[in-house]
Amino acid sequence: KAGVTQTPRYLIKTRGQQVTLSCSPISGHRSVSWYQQTPGQGLQFLFEYFSETQRNKGNFPGRFSGRQFSNSRSEMNVSTLELGDSALYLCASSLGPGKEAEAFFGQGTRLTVV
Amino acid sequence: AQSVTQLGSHVSVSEGALVLLRCNYSSSVPPYLFWYVQYPNQGLQLLLKYTTGATLVKGINGFEAEFKKSETSFHLTKPSAHMSDAAEYFCAVSGAGNQFYFGTGTSLTVIP
**Residue A18 distance to chain B (closest CA, Å):** 23
**Residue B100 distance to chain A (closest CA, Å):** 7
Among B41, B94, B103, beta carbon nearest to A99: B94
B46:A104 CB<8 A: yes
DSSP for residue B25 = E
pLDDT band at residue B52 under the 50/70/90 scheme: confident
Please give the Cα distance from A8 to B13 (Å, whole number): 36
B99:A43 CB<8 A: no
As a whole number, the mean pLDDT across chain A is 94
Lowest mean pLDDT: which of B10-24, B50-64, B72-86, B92-106?
Answer: B92-106
Q: How many CB pairs (< 8 A) connect A and B?
A: 70
pLDDT band at residue A31 under the 50/70/90 scheme: very high
Per DSSP, what are the bridge partners of residue A36? A44, A89
Summarised one tens digit per residue, pLDDT across range A75-106 is 999 999 999 999 999 999 998 777 677 889 99
Among A31, A42, A99, beta carbon nearest to B104: A42
Summarised one tens digit per residue, pLDDT across range A33-64 is 999 999 989 999 999 999 999 998 999 999 99
Q: How far is CA A11 from the centre of its chain?
A: 14
Q: Stretch B86-102: mean pLDDT, rounded?
A: 89
Buried b (16+ CB within 10 A) or exposed e, B4-31: bebeeeebebeeeeebebbbbbebeeeb
Among A42, A92, A102, beta carbon nearest to B49: A102
* Per-residue pLDDT, A1: 67
CA-closest candidate to residue A102, choices A111, A110, A112, A92: A92
A103:B100 CB<8 A: yes
